[in-house]
Amino acid sequence: MLKLVGSLFIIIAGAMAGNSAAVSFRNKLELQRTLLKMYSETAIMLKYSFITLPELIEQLRRNNEYSSLSFLDVDDDTDIRRSLLDKLRAWDMADEESMSILKSFFINFGTTDISGQLSYAAMARARQSEIVERETKQLNKRSRFARTFGVLGGAFAAVMMI
């Protein structure tokens, strides 16, 4: 009887581990969507208010939707671009492709006229949109696999214990 109860707990633990992995995949997708929204809002701010980099950082920092983007918490020193890029290098929440888009976007922000900045924002938004679409398609497959693998792994371990 004790082995059966232990086996049940192992199966439940495996299912919880699989569910945790599925939630992790969902959180990554939400981060990608947040970055996409940031690029869209930045383009709107540029188009209608000709915002500068320090003003952009301040606007994004004030918005609670971007609280997960910790690289926006930069010091208000004289070289905000360098401080922001240093924070981006240390930020490990996004994948390499998204990091490349972020770095390119913030390196080029404010270095051209408004139409050039709008083009950079549109390009970043388009690239990020492709990532979101790809990740959305893969989310269900990955989540189902993680849950199934967790349950079956727990069941396998339980059978091995018995």
What is residue 67's DSSP assignment? T
What is residue 18's DSSP assignment? H
Alpha helix (H) ranges present in the chain?
A: 2-49, 53-62, 80-90, 96-108, 114-161
The pLDDT score that the predictor gives to residue 125 is: 93
The pLDDT score that the predictor gives to residue 130 is: 93
b/e per residue 75-88 (b: at least 16 CB within 10 A): eeeeebbebbbebb
Residue type, 28: K
The pLDDT score that the predictor gives to residue 78 is: 67
The pLDDT score that the predictor gives to residue 35 is: 92
In tens digits, what is the pLDDT along the chain, a chain of 162 residues? 777 777 777 888 888 888 888 888 888 889 999 999 999 998 888 888 878 888 888 888 888 898 888 888 887 666 788 888 888 888 888 888 988 998 888 888 878 888 888 888 899 999 999 999 998 888 888 888 888 878 878 777 777 777
Per domain, the residue ranges of the chain are: 2-161
The pLDDT score that the predictor gives to residue 70 is: 86
The pLDDT score that the predictor gives to residue 77 is: 66
The pLDDT score that the predictor gives to residue 156 is: 78
* Inter-residue contact 36 to 135 (CB < 8 Å): no
